[in-house]
Amino acid sequence: MLKVKSVVKEFSGFRAVDECSFEVEKNTITGLIGPNGAGKTTMFNLIAGSLKLDQGEVYFSEQKVNNFAPHQIARLGLARTFQIPKTLRKMTVLENLMLVPSGQSGENIWNSWFRGAKVENEEKVNAAKAYETLEFLEMEHLADEMAVNLSGGQKKLLELGRALMAEPELILLDEPGAGVNPTLLNKIAENILKLKERGKTILLIEHNMDLIMNICDRVIVMNDGKHLVEGTPAEIKTNPQVLEAYLGEKTA
């Protein structure tokens, strides 16, 4: 589903990602972990097209996407969330979701005037899809709530819902558990597992090791911009290189 080959990204001479390579298999949940500053979010930005690679290649579904803009990559079936949710604060939860589908006829002012029936039918379809997404997230009771009024955890769920509205094949989740209370964290974990059941592929950055160990099929570890090791959660948990990277000291 995703191949990252010898990727390099520098900022003013500092190499944030350094010859990093890894693969993500289809219909798996893969964790991307590492100490602060390891290059994880920079890697997400490179994969999603928000940053341009200095060197290397990124393939999504066997298509090279190095020079693609974010919206072009999104249309291929890749969606992402952010560590700090980017909700539209002055719109309702339902409106946040309905805005996502691309190519809506109502985006053209002439269609609003002269093709009103088509615009109305599209909005009905998008509303039904949005309600279905909210039911999946168990947020249907918040459909008419303004996004600004949501808790941090609810905003994380809303951002996941916005990603799902794009009907992606691969979803990049940037710290979905950060700042989330235990109840909502469990709900997020359940939703991620349900997405796998639906055939989706997930790559997530996360510092909550319990979440990583409980839901991931494989874990990739980055350190100092490099691919350090990868393996099953059980293998990563006891790997001496991983312990050294996190604890800053060599283990016996």
Number of domains in the chain: 2
Q: Does 74 fall in a domain?
A: yes
Q: Are strands 170-174 and 78-80 parallel, antiparallel or unpaired?
A: parallel
At 211 the pLDDT is 93
- Do 234 and 170 share a structural domain? yes
Show the domain range for 136. 88-149
What's this model's pTM, rounded to 2 decimal places?
A: 0.85
Q: Please check whether residues 64 and 183 belong to one and the same domain.
A: yes
Task: Judge whether 200 lies within some domain.
Answer: yes
Q: Are residues 238 and 127 in the same domain?
A: no
Going by C-alpha positions, the residue among 43, 47, 41, 66 that lies closest to residue 55 is: 66
Lookup: tokens for 141: 């009771």
Could you tell me if residue 79 is inside a domain? yes
Instruction: Tell me, yes or no, whether 72 and 191 share the same domain.
Output: yes
Tell me whether residue 99 is in a domain: yes
pLDDT digits (tens, 9 = 90+) for 21-80: 999 999 999 999 999 889 999 999 999 999 999 999 999 999 999 989 999 999 999 999
229 domain-assigned: yes
Say which residue, 98 or 83, is predicted with more confidence: 98
Q: Is the dihedral of CA 239, 241, 246, 250 positive or negative?
A: positive
For helices 152-165 and 116-137, angle between their N-to-C axes, nearest 10 degrees = 130
* Domain co-membership, 62 together with 75: yes
CATH of the domain at 224: 3.40.50.300
pLDDT, position 251: 42
| Spatial CA neighbour of 202 closest among 220, 226, 181, 229 | 220
Residue 40 and residue 129 in one domain = no
Which of the four pLDDT bands, split at 50, 70 and 90, describes residue 86?
confident
CA angle 97, 98, 101 (to 5 degrees): 100
